Amino acid sequence: MKRTKKRNRAAEGPENRDRASIVLHLLREFPDTKFSLKHLASASGGASKQGRAETLALLNDLLEQGVVEVCARQKYRLARQHVPHYEGVASMTAGGSVYVRVEGAETDIFVNQRNALNTLDGDRVEVAPMHRSGKGQIEGEIVRIVERSRKPYIGIAEVGPHQIFVRADSRKMPVDIYLSKRTYPEVEDGEKVVVRIVDWAPGSKSPEGELVERLGHAGDNETEMHAILAEYELPYRFDPRIEEAAAAIDSRIPEEEIARRRDFRDTVTFTVDPADAKDFDDALSVRRVAEGVWEVGVHIADVTYYVRPHSVLDDEAIERGTSVYLVDRTVPMLPERLSNELCSLRPDETSLCFSAVFTLNENLELLDEWFGRTVIHSDRRFTYAEAQRVIETGQGDYAEEVLTLNRLAQGLRRERFRCGAISFDREEVRFTLDENGKPLGVYFKEQQDANRMIEEFMLLANRRVAEFCGHRRSEKGRRVPRTMVYRVHDTPDAEKLDRFRQFILRFGHIFKATKGRAVARELNKLFAAVKGSSEENAVSTMAVRSMAKAYYTTDNIGHYGLAFDSYTHFTSPIRRYPDMMVHRLLARYLEGGRSADKAETEALCVRASEREVVAAEAERASIKYKMVEFLKDRIGEEFDGHISGLTEWGVYVELDETHIEGMSFLRDIAGDFYQFYEDRYEIVGRSTGRRLTLGDAVRIRVRRADLQRRQLDFEILLPERPGRKGKGKSEK
C-alpha cells in the first residue's frame, strides 16, 4: 500500500506529468504500435534506472485506468476502446481484405484479413484507424460488427453425411457457408441455392447461413439466370397481389375519356421497334401542315392513367425502378397485363397516350409545340429492319411519312452534333440462343438510320418536356423554377481527362481541349480518326471511363454528352419509373398546379438512379455468363484480340471476332516477371523490358472457363523476342 502511495505522489510531480503526456501522446499517435518499457522510458526522457521505474509506475496506473493494455512480451499499446472509432460499410476483396467506407472521409480505411473480425462484404462495422502504411493508406482494425448485411449469396450446395456447405459464386465470400442438414434436409448435392448469413461465431471457420431459395441444378440456363437475379436482389416474378391488381384494371376506354383528349386517330401513326419487342411504348405520327411544314407527334403510352400514385402497382414500380434486360429475357417493371397489353401501342387498336407534338419546317425551326393527353390508333408496327428497307429503297408502307421523318431526324442529328453532342457509338454484343438458352453465336447490334430516326425524336421530346416543366412564366414574364426530374450528365473530370490525354499520346493522337464544349468537339474528331483502327476500342473505352455517369436528380446541371441545357426521360414509362414521374409532373403543370415537393421528388430520383445501376450490373453479369458458356467448349483454341484492360494482377483481352473478354494473370505470362504501372497504363517485363498496353494486339489461348464465377482465363501467347530462340538452361 505504501508503494502505491509513493507511486501516486511521484506521478503528481511536474517531471512525471511531462513524462505522462509524452507517453500518452506517443501511444495515441501510433495506436497500433506495441512499445517496450525501455522505448517508452527513453522517449519520455527517463532512460536511467530511476526513469524506467517511474515510467513503469506510470504504465501501471494507466493499466488500472484501462488506458493501456499489455501485449505479448511485456509490450504496451493504447487500449482499443481509447482509439477513435468510426462507423462505415465494409467492402471485401477476393483475397479477404476489407475496405471500410466512412461517410465524410476522403479515403477508405484498409483492414487486413487478420484484423477483420469475421467481417463480410456489406456489413456495417465500427473501425479503429491504427496507422498509415508506407504508401499513405490508412490501416485499421474492425472492433465491432454493428449490423450484418442481409445481402444474399448464391452458390452450389455440397451435401455431406452430417452437414451442408455452400461454395459461394461470389469472390467476395472467401469461405464456404454452413447450413444445418437437420434444418434443410431437402437440399440436394450440386444444387444451386440462395442463402443469407445469420451468424459467424468467433473462432468458427465458416459463417452459418439460412436457406432463402433453391434455384435448381447448377448449369441449367433457367437456374443460372435466376441466380443472377437473386444475386442482385431482383425479383423474377410478381407477387400474386400485384398480378391481381393489374388483372382488375378495366381495359375499356370510356368515351368521356376520349372526349377529354386530343384525337390523333385519323393521323398516320406507327411504331418502330426491335423484331423481338413485346411492348410498344412509343409511336410517331406525321402530317403535312403546309408546304415544307410538318406536324410530328411523339406519342408515349399513358401508363399513369392506369397506375395511380400510392397504389400497389405504383409501389411495386418504385421498388423495381426499371425493367431489367438479361440476355434471354426481360424482367419487367410492370406486369405484362400493363406492359404488353393495356399500355402497348399495338397496331389497329385505340390507345391512350401522353404526347409531345411539334410543328417543324424543313429548316428545323420549331414553329410550335404542344403537350398533353391524346388518343391514337397505330396504323402499322414496323421492325427496325422493315423501316430501314423503306429508308433505303423509298418503297413500302407509308414510305412518304417514313422518308419525311428520316429527313427531319437527320437534320436534328446534324444540329445536335454541331452544338457539341458526343458521338459514342459502341457496338453492343448480342447472342443467338437455342431453345434451351445455350449460345450458338455472337452478333452485334447495329445502329442504322431507322434507329437514329426514332432516337432523334425521342431526344427532342425529352428535351422540350424538360424545358417546359422546369420553369413557368410569372405575371411579370420572369422564369420561375419548378421541381422537375432531370436526367443529367456532368462535365468531364479534369484529372481523368488529363490521364486520357496522356493515354492517347502513345497512339500518336493529340487531344488539346481541356474544358467546355471544346472537349466534345475534340472527342468527335478523335473518334473519327480512330474509326476502323486497331486502337478504336481502347480509345473509346478510355473515353467513356473519363466521362461522368448520367443520373436522375431535381438539380439541373444539363446533359453534357447530348449538349442539352435541360433533359429528362419522358419516353419510356413502361420500363422506367422516372418517366412515370415526369408524366405526372407534366400533367400537374399543364393543369396549373403548384411546384411539386422537391425533397420527395429527389428521394425518388436517388432511388431510381440506384436501381438503374443494379439493373445494369445484372445485365452485364448475364452477358458475361453467356460469354463464358459460349467458350467453355473451346478450351485450348487460339484467338486474336486486343488488350482491353490492365490491373496489378492481370491483363484483360477482348477477342476481335466476338468481343468476348477474358483475363490473363500476370503470373501466367511466360518468359518474364511483369509489373503494372497504373500511371502509364502498361505492364513491363522486368528482364526483357517488353511492354504491353491498352489496345495492343495479342494472340491468346483459352485456358479455363469458370461458369460459376463467370470468368474466362486466357493465356497470352507472346512472340519469341529476336535472338532468344533456342536458349535453354545450358546457356546460363
SS3 assignment, position 96:
coil
Domains and CATH numbers, the chain: 2-81 (1.10.10.10), 84-147 (2.40.50.140), 153-218 (2.40.50.700), 240-488+554-614 (no CATH), 494-547 (no CATH), 632-729 (2.40.50.140)
Lowest mean pLDDT of 17-26, 302-311, 386-395, 669-678, name the range.
17-26
Nearest 5°: phi and psi at 198? -110, -25
Question: What is the reported pLDDT for 37?
Answer: 79
Q: What angle do CA 17, 20, 22 make, to 5 degrees?
A: 110
Lowest mean pLDDT of 43-47, 421-425, 485-489, 520-524, name the range.
43-47
Percent of the chain topping pLDDT 90? 59
**CB of 384 within 8 A of CB of 448?**
yes
**CB of 216 within 8 A of CB of 192?**
yes
Question: What is the reported pLDDT for 94?
Answer: 75
The Cα-based distances of 154 to 150, 209, 229, 578, 683 in angstroms read: 13, 11, 10, 31, 34
Which residues are CB-neighbours of 135 under 8 A, at least 6 positions away? none
SS3 assignment, position 367:
strand
Which of 689 and 332 is assigned the larger pLDDT?
332
pLDDT of 31 higher than 80: no
Give which of 193, 158, 198 is closest to 176, Cα–Cα: 158
Question: What is the reported pLDDT for 279?
Answer: 84
- Stated length of the chain: 732
pLDDT of 11 higher than 50: no
At residue 134 the predicted structure's pLDDT band, cuts being 50, 70 and 90, is: low
What number is the average pLDDT over the span 244-254?
96
Question: What is the reported pLDDT for 14?
Answer: 42
pLDDT in tens, 349-358: 999 999 999 9
User: Cβ–Cβ contacts within 10 Å for residue 81, how many?
Assistant: 11
pLDDT in tens, 171-216: 888 899 999 999 999 999 999 999 999 988 888 889 999 999 999 9
What number is the average pLDDT over the span 470-478?
82
Burial string for 607-622 (b: 16+ CB within 10 Å, else e) reads bbbebbebbeebbebb
Kindly report the average pLDDT of the chain as a whole number.
88
Most confident range (mean pLDDT) of 174-178, 475-479, 508-512 is 174-178
pLDDT in tens, 274-299: 988 888 999 999 999 999 999 999 99
Which of 594 and 50 is assigned the larger pLDDT?
594
What is the Cα–Cα distance from 367 to 365, expressed in whole angstroms?
Answer: 6
Most confident range (mean pLDDT) of 53-62, 93-102, 116-125, 565-574 is 565-574
At residue 33 the predicted structure's pLDDT band, cuts being 50, 70 and 90, is: confident
Helices (H), 119-273: 221-231, 240-247, 255-259
Question: What is the reported pLDDT for 5?
Answer: 38
User: Cβ–Cβ contacts within 10 Å for residue 463, how many?
Assistant: 20
Question: What is the reported pLDDT for 32?
Answer: 66
Question: What is the reported pLDDT for 16?
Answer: 53
pLDDT of 495 higher than 90: no
At residue 233 the predicted structure's pLDDT band, cuts being 50, 70 and 90, is: very high
What is the distance of C-alpha 609 from the center of its chain? 10
Lowest mean pLDDT of 79-83, 99-103, 410-414, 547-551, name the range.
79-83
What is the Cα–Cα distance from 547 to 425, expressed in whole angstroms?
Answer: 14
In DSSP terms, which residues pair with 208 in a beta bridge? 178, 199
At residue 721 the predicted structure's pLDDT band, cuts being 50, 70 and 90, is: low
Question: What is the reported pLDDT for 9?
Answer: 35
Using a 10 angstrom Cβ sphere, with 0-12 exposed, 13-18 middle and 19 or more buried, the burial of residue 572 is: buried
Which residues are CB-neighbours of 363 under 8 A, at least 6 positions away? none
Question: What is the reported pLDDT for 310?
Answer: 95
In DSSP terms, which residues pair with 297 in a beta bridge? 285, 357
Q: How many CA atoms lie within 13 A of 694 on its CB side?
A: 24
Percent of the chain topping pLDDT 70? 94
pLDDT of 674 higher than 70: yes
